[in-house]
Amino acid sequence: MVPTPPDGRAGIDAALVKRLVAAQFPQWRDLPVRPVEVDGWDNRTYRLGDTLTARLPTAAGYVPAVAKESEWLPRLAPSLPYAVPPILGQGAPGEGYPFPWSVRGWLDGETAAAGRIDDMAQFAVSVAEFLLALQRCDTAGGPLAGEHSWYRGASPAYYDEETRRCLAALEGRVDTSRAAAVWEAALAAEWRGEHVWFHGDIAPGNLLVADGKLTAVIDFGTSGVGDPACDLVIAWGMFSGESREAFRGAVGQDEGTWARARGWLLWKCLLTLSEHIDTDPERAALDQHLIAEVLADHEHRG
């Protein structure tokens, strides 16, 4: 479970960012500060003028990503076919804010909503090309999957107890027998390949598009070196029909990796469904749809 940030969002606002920048990066102290239109939960992001951003973690659990991205994104970027966030400086705790933070270059584009994409099947191929290029990057000295990646890139078995607890809580509300079979298959399909780089959160909100096409991939906070199965979850989370098949064909991967990918999606959907089934019908309906999709995929291909 991701911890709730203290003070809602760690007490971060534009005034704090302005003070931090002035104290630590005086060359940018006169730039206007304003929040981005679409923000995440793990971090708060603010525009600094037109070409820079400040990104501040909202809780201690997200802090390891700051140093990780600062070290590794500049190394990975030259080998990747689409832009990733350029790191321009790493800030220190100060002005009452307790965590390290970073200054980055602004990347143009909008998050990857379906209506912004010209050809979803081609977009799926572009995402696959990015993942394959990432997997080809040199892993020497890279951060092995673990706590810093919320165990993305490790075995889904890390979440076994939580998943079984969710299955028990949802008995009679989802087909828990079929879901358990998907989970068991994921656990049985152990990763035996070479460790590769993974992103850890390939989702529409972390994919930027312009003129209908993929232009950038952001938020490498859960990235690391390990099993790439977690990066395949988008096959169900965003793609369907022709685009799903295009992604599957382009990204490759053996059946064991796809089994673990189904496990990753199932874990997350069971967790959020157990939290929202009685309070958020729209979110619950989406989780139930994705669970049905992954159960059918397991029975067709597993």
Better pLDDT: 11 or 85: 85
When pLDDT is averaged across residues 110-116 and rounded to a whole number, the result is 95
Sequence ranges of the domains in the chain: 7-106, 111-301
Interval 45-89: pLDDT, tens: 999 999 999 999 999 999 999 999 999 999 999 999 999 999 999
List the single range of 4-8, 116-120, 183-187 with lowest mean pLDDT.
4-8
The CATH topology of domain 7-106 is Phosphorylase Kinase; domain 1 (3.30.200)
Rounded Cα distance, 90 and 54, in Å:
10
- For residue 6, what pLDDT band results from cuts at 50, 70 and 90? very low
State the CB neighbour count (10 A cutoff) for residue 205: 14
Q: Provide the pLDDT for residue 153.
A: 98
| pLDDT surpassing 50 at residue 166 | yes
The pTM for the full model equals 0.93
- For residue 2, what pLDDT band results from cuts at 50, 70 and 90? very low
The CATH topology of domain 111-301 is Aminoglycoside 3'-phosphotransferase; Chain: A, domain 2 (3.90.1200)
- CA distances 74 to 35, 104, 156, Å, are 25, 11, 29
Q: Is 44 helix (H, G, I), strand (E, B) or coil?
A: strand
Q: Provide the pLDDT for residue 9.
A: 58
φ/ψ region of 7 (left if φ > 0, alpha if ψ in -120 to 50, else beta) reads: left
Backbone angles phi, psi at 30, to 5 degrees: -90, 0
Rounded Cα distance, 76 and 125, in Å:
20
Q: What is the mean pLDDT of the chain?
A: 94
Q: Provide the pLDDT for residue 38.
A: 74
